[in-house]
Each structure stands twice: as structure tokens, then as C-alpha cells.
């Protein structure tokens, strides 16, 4: 491999989404990732289907396990624990998402493994972190979206709170974790020592409230649920045309003046209630219905064309099929296919990172359960008789 993280060895003891999302990104960047799975069943997401490929690999599993080698190990057995210790002794990174203290009983916690390998970067991902009153609670994306305030600002203003359509608390935690791991690897270059990284879905979900969280800290007003509208910018939302919906993202007063010109109401841009963005936010209830009435007079594409020519940010609302078919998605290589161990083409979403000197390389399709077990065990010094014994005992 020649990627940015070529030569970095990662032991991935995580499952489902946040941890595997982080390790897939590391694999895309060139790291050698060994995915440790339970014998017989593996990562839970292998069974999260339909849809799935003809050989049974679930689409959910495929989305987050590209570029990894699969090793099956029962870590409840002493022989399995020894395999993980051998891997950790040679690894740069270990990633896990067990409950707090869950790996200590197996001798696979950070304090124990750091004695074997002081350079090890050990990343723990949990729902609520390694300390605090909720540390021992299980963490699920859906629940964290609710507890963090994210659902309170998502969904129609007059309806029930909504979760986001994908598991964003998991995904953002995975991205934060990948950043933290790389920061720890850089720090190790200076200090020579690894460290323990403590990542929590709850923390990351609070952090990603971004301007909404800041709005509360500064204004001390609980943010309302605004549907498709924006808390700080008007007009910045979905509008209906004669034949569908489109997004208008009017970010400054000049753009608003162009919108007023296009809909035949240039005087609105000079109206003291609407001339500046703070005033438009204050008078949202009066302005938005007026704009909505104007936009219902023409087709979606006619508005998009006119707004685009006027330099006003706007866009269609695509379904997933339309998004992948978009020429921009095609040009950016956001869809690919890799051949797996049985020769079938596995369709995958591409990595969005574009590096000029060390580009992302796609070397391995998502693995079959235990596909690389014997290969990995041999590199750790296990002979054929050892491997047979491990299999007979159910360790691998």
C-alpha cells in the first residue's frame, strides 16, 4: 500500500457503526486493518438485511467494512486473548467499542496492553464515555440523538421530534475518532508513547449541534424545531414550486435582493422589516408565506435556473437514485465496485477524501467472515497444527 497511513497497523475490535466507520476511513487512507469478529456470527451488521448480496453479505455491513481483513476470535477464551495480545504487541492502533471495563476482565484493556506495547494508540468508543453518571449505560445512536438535543430541533415545527435519516451520532463519532487516532499517531512521533482515546457518542452529538448549541449558550433560549428552516438565516429553507420542491439558501442581503427582483417584488429588499438578515429572522412569520406564494407560480427547474443565473444558492431535492446518477457524483468517483473473495462485484460508496500525493486506494472488498483468519495467524507465528487446534476448540 502507498496511502498516507501505509505501514500503520490497526486492530479493530469494534462492531456495528461508529468504530467500523473510523477504521474504514483509516483503511481507505492506507492502514492495514484487521477486523476481529466473533466466530460463527461476526459483526451484528452482517445480519442486518435485506438487502444483501447473493452470498448473504448485508448492504449495511458493506457500507462500513471496506479495506479490512477479517479474523475470527473468541476473546472469552484464553487462547483467543493471547491472539489479541500478539496482534496488539505489533499494532499501532487498537479500536474497541465494548462497554466500559468490558475488556479488562479479558486482560485486553488499555493499561494491560500498553505494558506490552507502550506505543499503542488505544481508542475506546462508547455511548457516554469512560466516566460520568451514564458511563455504564449502553449507547445507541437513536437514543443519543434524543438525549443530545438533536431530535428536539429535527422535524416539522408542529409535529413530533424526528431522528436524522442516517445514524449521524455514530457517523460523526467515527469521524472524530479517526481524527483523534491520527492526532495521537502524530503526537507519538514526538513523544514515542501511545495514549488512550476516550470517545463518546453523546459528547460528539453535543459538539455537532454547532451553531444551534452556540445559540443556546449565548442567547439562553431553547431552540425551537423549525422543520426545513434555518435558525439564523432567512430565507434558507425548502419552497414548493408548481411541480415539486427546491431548496433556497439565501445567505446575505445581496442574494435576497436578487430573489426579490426575480419574483417581481424588488421593494421587499428595501423594506425595513426584510432589508437585513436579522430583520428577516425577526419577521420570518410575515416574509416566508409571501415568498412561498410567489414560488408556487412557476416550475421547480425554472426557479433553479433563474436563481442559479442570479448567483443565489439553490438546489433540487434528489432521491438517492438521482443523487448517485448526478454527473457531479459520477465525476467525483463516489460510486465504485470491488471484487470480493468469490468473484462477485460489490457496489460501494466511494471515500470523499481527495489527496493529491497519497490518494485513497481501494484494495479489499468487505471481507467474508473469517476470510483472513489463517493468513493472519500465520503472520503471528502460528503453525498449521496450532491453527487446527484453535479451530477445533472454537477459538477462531
Within the chain, strands assigned E span 9-12, 32-37, 68-72, 93-96, 121-126, 196-200, 236-240, 245-249, 314-316, 335-339, 345-349
Q: Which of 21, 72, 18 lies closest to 42 in space, CA to CA?
A: 72
Q: What is the DSSP letter of 279?
A: H
User: How far apart, in whole angstroms, are the C-alpha atoms of residue 360 and residue 29?
Assistant: 5
Set 28, 170, 203, 340: catalytic member: 170
Reply yes or no on whether 43 is catalytic: no
> What does the angle CA 179 – CA 180 – CA 181 come to, to the nearest 5 degrees?
90
Return all residues near 53 (Cβ < 8 A) that are at least 6 apart: 59, 62, 344, 346
**Closest Cα partner for 65 from 101, 95, 85, 89?**
95
Report residue 227: phi and psi, to 5°. 65, -125
| Strand duo 68-72 + 32-37: pairing | parallel
In whole angstroms, give the CA distance from residue 245 to residue 247. 7
Question: Would you name the residues annotated as active-site residues?
Answer: 170
Amino acid at each position: 500500500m502507498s496511502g498516507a497511513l501505509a505501514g500503520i497497523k490497526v486492530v479493530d475490535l469494534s462492531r456495528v457503526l461508529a468504530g467500523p466507520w473510523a477504521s474504514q476511513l483509516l483503511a481507505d487512507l492506507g492502514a492495514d486493518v484487521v477486523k476481529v469478529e466473533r466466530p460463527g456470527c461476526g459483526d451484528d451488521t452482517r445480519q442486518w438485511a435485506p438487502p444483501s448480496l447473493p452470498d448473504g453479505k448485508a448492504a449495511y455491513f458493506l457500507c462500513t467494512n471496506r479495506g479490512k481483513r477479517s479474523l475470527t476470535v473468541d476473546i472469552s477464551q484464553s487462547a483467543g486473548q493471547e491472539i489479541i495480545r500478539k496482534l496488539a504487541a505489533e499494532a499501532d492502533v487498537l479500536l474497541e467499542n465494548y462497554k466500559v471495563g468490558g475488556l479488562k476482565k479479558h486482560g485486553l484493556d488499555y493499561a494491560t496492553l500498553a505494558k506490552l506495547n507502550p506505543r499503542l494508540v488505544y481508542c475506546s468508543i462508547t455511548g457516554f464515555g469512560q466516566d460520568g453518571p451514564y458511563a455504564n449505560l449502553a449507547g445507541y445512536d437513536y437514543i443519543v440523538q434524543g438525549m443530545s438535543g438533536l431530535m428536539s430541533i429535527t422535524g416539522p415545527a408542529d409535529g413530533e421530534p424526528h431522528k436524522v435519516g442516517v445514524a449521524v451520532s455514530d457517523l460523526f463519532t467515527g469521524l472524530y475518532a479517526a481524527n483523534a487516532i491520527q492526532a495521537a499517531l502524530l503526537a507519538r512521533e514526538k513523544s514515542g508513547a501511545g495514549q488512550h482515546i476516550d470517545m463518546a457518542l453523546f459528547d460528539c452529538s453535543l459538539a455537532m449541534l454547532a451553531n444551534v448549541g452556540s445559540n443556546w449558550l449565548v442567547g439562553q433560549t431553547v431552540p425551537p424545531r423549525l422543520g426545513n428552516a434555518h435558525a439564523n438565516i432567512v430565507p434558507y429553507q425548502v419552497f414548493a414550486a408548481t411541480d415539486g420542491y427546491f431548496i433556497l439558501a439565501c445567505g446575505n442581503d445581496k442574494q435576497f435582493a436578487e430573489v426579490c427582483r426575480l419574483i417581481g417584488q424588488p421593494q421587499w429588499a428595501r423594506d425595513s422589516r426584510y432589508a437585513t438578515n436579522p430583520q428577516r429572522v425577526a419577521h420570518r412569520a410575515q416574509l416566508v408565506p409571501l415568498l412561498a406564494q410567489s414560488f408556487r407560480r412557476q416550475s421547480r427547474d425554472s426557479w433553479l435556473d433563474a436563481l442559479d443565473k442570479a448567483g443565489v444558492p439553490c438546489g433540487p431535492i434528489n432521491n438517492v437514485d438521482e443523487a448517485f446518477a448526478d454527473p457531479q457524483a459520477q465525476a467525483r468517483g463516489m460510486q465504485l465496485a470491488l471484487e470480493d473473495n468469490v468473484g462477485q462485484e460489490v457496489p460501494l460508496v466511494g471515500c470523499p477524501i481527495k489527496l493529491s500525493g497519497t490518494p485513497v486506494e481501494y484494495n479489499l472488498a468487505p471481507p467474508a467472515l473469517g476470510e483472513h483468519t489463517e493468513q493472519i495467524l500465520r503472520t503471528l507465528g502460528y503453525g498449521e497444527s496450532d491453527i487446527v487446534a484453535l479451530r477445533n476448540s472454537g477459538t477462531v
